[in-house]
């Protein structure tokens, strides 16, 4: 069962999530730059980013060592 969400709310949340992901990308690039500039750190320490297109949206995955952050954005939300 799908929940009805007003179009304006969906657009606002979509923009907020896109902004958050852009901020996260910038943060990841800064981390990777710091790692690259520090000879004591291994290049294996870099944050790996993967973007996967799904049938119903996009999955963004960030990995650093044993830590993983996954953000799934679904595009099949019903709107009024």
pLDDT tens track for 49-79 = 888 988 888 888 888 877 888 888 776 555 4
pLDDT tens track for 29-42 = 888 888 888 877 77
Distance (Å, whole) CA 80 – CA 74:
17
Residue 41 backbone class (left: φ over 0; alpha: ψ -120 to 50; beta: rest): beta
The alpha-helical segments, DSSP class H, found in 3-79 are 7-37
pLDDT of the residue at 80:
46
pLDDT tens track for 6-20 = 778 777 877 888 888
Whether residue 43 is predicted with pLDDT greater than 80 in this model: the reply is no
Whether residue 44 is predicted with pLDDT greater than 80 in this model: the reply is no
User: How many CB atoms are closer than 10 A to CB 66?
Assistant: 5
């Amino acid at each position: 069962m799908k929940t009805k969400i007003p179009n304006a709310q969906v657009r606002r949340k979509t923009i907020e999530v896109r902004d958050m992901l852009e901020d996260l990308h910038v943060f990841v690039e800064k981390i990777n730059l710091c790692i690259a500039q520090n000879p004591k750190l291994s290049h294996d320490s870099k944050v790996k980013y993967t973007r996967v297109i799904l049938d119903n949206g996009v999955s963004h995955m960030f990995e650093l060592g044993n830590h993983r952050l996954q953000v799934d954005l679904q595009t099949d939300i019903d709107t009024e």
